[in-house]
Structure 1
Amino acid sequence: MINTQAVLQMAADYTAAWNSKSAEAVASFYAHDGEIIINNGDPWTGRSRVQDMASGFYADVPDLTLKCDDVRCAGSHVIFVWTFTGHDAASGNPLSVRGWEEWEVGEDLKVKNSRGWFDAEDYGRQADG
């Protein structure tokens, strides 16, 4: 059983990592062999690939700011609900995207598996203006 207060602190620290603009800091929250799959896409497996995923978001939204909207825990399963804002790098258009990640975490509070979700069509519409 995972300590709920520890998970809440982890979520706050994870949010701060995203807001630091350090892809390495984001990846540090994952187990060495942890993975994330976004919108049923291809998996990003291992910390270096998670770092690549975060770097891609920073390239697309250089001024990305993440806000934690909610955290839910059940055993080793965590739901991290978020909103990110910023501007699309190509168009300069403002973005406000809501989504969530479903985490399976180890006893060390490192993410073993994450399934991320957001409305990609809405994101595209906002980016295009």
Structure 2
Amino acid sequence: MTSHPLQHFAERYTAAWCSQQPSQVAEFFAPDGVLTINGGTPSIGRDAITASAAAFMTAFPDLVVLLDALHDHDGRVCYDWTLIGTNTGPGGTGRAVRITGREAWRMHAQGTIADSVGSFDVAEYERQLHGR
């Protein structure tokens, strides 16, 4: 599944995360697509996914996401990423973070993401964000 079209899809998805335009991220999902981050409450539908992306983009106005790898695992496409940014959004700590994570995508027949299960090391994120 790491064919050229899927690689191109992942590269464009990465660019959307770097765009400071949260709706661009949501456009990669099916209209009823689902994004779940670290086992939290699923964001269902493009409006909810836009809100989830906006939360990261607001917290990290200089947000950069890097595409680290793309591969198949257990019938899903795994999108491995690195997030880099400085938490200077409203109420931010002013601290820089660099964390890695993964989204495991189930693709929709129309070539969008039907379901994404994302994860990253919350303890490491909190340590970098708050210096603990």
TM-score under structure 2 length normalisation? 0.91
With over 3 angstroms needed to count, the CA separation of the structure-2 counterparts of 1:76 and 1:32, relative to structure 1, is farther
Query: What are the within-5 Å matches in structure 2 for residues 1-129 of structure 1?
Result: 4-73=3-72, 77-89=76-88, 90-129=92-131
- How far did 1:128 drift? 0.7
Distance in 2 separating the partners of 1:109 and 1:127: 35
With over 3 angstroms needed to count, the CA separation of the structure-2 counterparts of 1:24 and 1:62, relative to structure 1, is same
Distance in 2 separating the partners of 1:74 and 1:118: 17
Distance in 1 separating the partners of 2:2 and 2:96: 37
SS at match of 1:32: strand
Distance in 2 separating the partners of 1:124 and 1:74: 28
CA contact (8 A) 1:34 1:113 kept: yes
Equivalent residue letter for 1:20: S
Query: Aligned pair count?
Result: 128
Unaligned runs of 5+ in 1: none
Identical residues among aligned pairs (%): 32
Unaligned runs of 5+ in 2: none
- How far did 1:3 drift? 7.2
CA contact (8 A) 1:19 1:65 kept: yes
Measured against aligned partners, the alpha-carbon deviations of 1:70-116 in whole angstroms (never above 9, x if no partner) come to 00136962100000101112111110010000000023220000000
Distance in 2 separating the partners of 1:123 and 1:3: 28
- How far did 1:61 drift? 1.3
Equivalent residue letter for 1:68: L
Distance in 2 separating the partners of 1:61 and 1:27: 18
SS at match of 2:61: coil
Distance in 1 separating the partners of 2:124 and 2:82: 13
